[in-house]
A and B are shown apart, each in its own frame.
Chain A
């Protein structure tokens, strides 16, 4: 069971008022179970579009995608999505936000008490068990994003999809959450696809970094395997030659091969 997620010749064309716009073409990617893959590229390169395709929020206009031997034909709770802007429902508490997801997946097979326990556990995993009864506006941006992660994980998804999950956070909170995410992924063995525009984040977290060319008609430019031992420590990484090599390779790709005119 090596090819868990298969993306074959996927293309995405949007019909706009000015005519068809090809956002993605000829995307081919295989992801193994338990792998952490980052998608990196300049803004507008279609990396979020690709993530939405995997999530099933939009359907590709060409090619096919298969997750655990089933074709992706729409959104579903087997893929846990963490959005950039947390997307918690403001009228539900943290607990209720996560419960909504748990209930969707486990209502038929489990008792209420068991499902509540799942919510507790998911929030404990992101160290938010103390904030269960709080509403989203009562907690910080980093905490909200952690609830979002707890919600996605609580469904025990086949794959975790993160759309610039830490993009809206300050640098210190971001670093803290990256460390937590590494621990969670190590503990749960999740398969993860993460969209990012942060080179350090991509190298630190990923097993492979997928670099995308500029749009329109963006596709995969290069794929870089990050062969760093886990657990990874951000402090020692700064001087690790392999880390620096990977980092510089991605920077080379982004700023030499895919240089973009300043927007």
Chain B
């Protein structure tokens, strides 16, 4: 790979000076060396993606380096190598099933994702239509404001006892906590999307005297979709944060409970692996939602 690749501008500047020393300037591999020797300017120009990848590798190595240092001097923290070996063993069979309390990490992640899916799905079914109504009608918005403002800052886990009380079971209580924490971003963002619709579009609707259904289908909905997707992204992000904590409290099968279980076993390497798994799954969720957002967002540059 040619790392030394003279920029064309630089070349031209150099050539325009007509210095006899740089006549042989050509960016081919064979003649690379005379250039660097004869000219004052040496510019390396690696492709951008390579620089980006390099930066990422640097960041990760720094992270692992600090981790290794901490493990060395900090006592009980497992080193990166030990963790990596444990991970290989763990992921060799992620879907084993021994007893309800001893299942592969894959099952645990899928169970957690399932809870997030059901809780978020229910929140979307209720929160998105509610967001439209709150955004469209000022009276409803005023009605909803005190409730939302009061309940939004409450930690979702504070709802867990009420969930346990109502459902008398751990699993629905955890789903219910996900539902609650997903609800607010969905309502708030959908309502904000409805409120920001440019008056011009609504004037088109009024001039054409479109029916409410046509207004919804052709104007409100497409205009709100990008905002709605922001709400979905925030909701799923929070839900994924909360599920780990909720499962620690409720038990059952799930990545949160698994972390707690490994703590009881004093298997710190597994806890670190779980942290990575939670992080990677969260990142993948986020990325897939960004892809979805790109698919659905129209271009507003018009």
**With A57-B203, A83-B203, A85-B200 as contacts: A90 and B209 at CB distance below 8 Å:** no
Q: Is B53 an interface residue (CB 8 A)?
A: no
- Interface contact B209-A136, CB-CB below 8 Å: no
B interface SS class:
helix
B219, B223, B301, B302 pick with most chain A CB within 10 angstroms = B302
* A to B contact number (C-beta, < 8 Å): 58
Q: How far is the CA of A34 from the CA of B105 in the complex (A)?
A: 77
Distance to closest chain B CB from A46 (angstroms): 18
B204, B206, B207, B302 pick with most chain A CB within 10 angstroms = B207
- Interface contact B209-A75, CB-CB below 8 Å: yes
Q: Which residues of A contact B298 (CB under 8 A)?
A: 90-91, 135
Query: Count of B residues near A, CB < 8 Å?
Result: 19
Q: Is A89 an interface residue (CB 8 A)?
A: yes
**With A77-B208, A100-B218, A101-B208 as contacts: A87 and B203 at CB distance below 8 Å:** yes
Q: Is B95 an interface residue (CB 8 A)?
A: no
Q: Is A104 an interface residue (CB 8 A)?
A: yes
Q: Which residues of A contact B210 (CB under 8 A)?
A: 100, 104
Interface residue from A83, A100, A144 paired with B302 (Cβ < 8 Å)? A144
Q: Which residues of A contact B214 (CB under 8 A)?
A: 100, 104
Q: How far is the CA of A130 from the CA of B231 in the complex (A)?
A: 38
Q: Is A79 an interface residue (CB 8 A)?
A: yes
Interface string of B207-223 (1 = CB under 8 A from A): 11110001000110011
Q: Which residues of A contact B219 (CB under 8 A)?
A: 89
Within 8 A of A (CB), among B278-302: 298-302
Q: How far is the CA of A47 from the CA of B124 in the complex (A)?
A: 46
Q: Is B91 an interface residue (CB 8 A)?
A: no
Within 8 A of B (CB), among A69-112: 74-77, 79-81, 83, 85, 87-92, 100-101, 104
A-B contact pairs, 22 of them (CB 8 A): A74-B209, A75-B206, A75-B209, A77-B207, A77-B208, A83-B200, A85-B200, A87-B204, A88-B302, A89-B218, A89-B219, A89-B222, A90-B298, A90-B300, A91-B222, A100-B208, A100-B210, A100-B218, A101-B208, A104-B210, A104-B214, A137-B302
Please name 12 further chain A to chain B contacts, defined as beta carbons within 8 Å, in addition to the given A83-B204, A135-B298, A137-B302, sorted by A numbering: A57-B203, A57-B207, A75-B207, A77-B207, A77-B208, A77-B209, A87-B200, A87-B204, A89-B222, A92-B218, A104-B209, A137-B301
Interface residues of A (CB under 8 A from B): 55, 57, 74-77, 79-81, 83, 85, 87-92, 100-101, 104, 135-137, 144, 155
The 6 closest A-B pairs by CB, nearest first: A91-B298, A137-B302, A91-B222, A136-B302, A87-B200, A137-B299
